[in-house]
Amino acid sequence: MIKPQKVVAYAAKDGIRLDNLMSDGFDEGHGRLVRRRYFAFPLPEELHNHALSGIKSCIAVERIVQEGKGEPKTSHFSYYITNHPASDPKLADYVRQHWEIESYHWLLDVYFNDDRDKKYEENSAENFAQIKRLPLNLVYP
**What pLDDT score does 1 carry?**
43
Residues 32 and 59 in one domain: yes
Which residues, 6 or more positions from 130, have their beta carbon under 8 angstroms from its beta carbon?
A: none
Beta strands at 57-66 and 32-42: parallel, antiparallel or unpaired: antiparallel
> Which CATH number fits the domain that encloses residue 46?
2.20.130.10
**What pLDDT score does 4 carry?**
62
**Considering only CA atoms, which of 32, 48, 39 is closest in space to residue 17?**
39
pLDDT tens-digit readout, 12-48? 777 788 888 888 999 888 788 999 999 999 887 776 6
**Considering only CA atoms, which of 92, 90, 86, 75 is closest in space to residue 25?**
92
Range of the domain at 115: 90-141
Number of domains in the chain: 2
Residues 97 and 81 in one domain: no
Distance CA 132, CA 115 (A): 12
- pTM, 2 dp: 0.69
Q: Which residues of 73-84 are buried (b: 16+ CB within 10 A; e: fewer)?
A: eeeeeebbbbee
Residue ranges of the chain with pLDDT lower than 50?
Answer: 1
Distance CA 112, CA 32 (A): 29
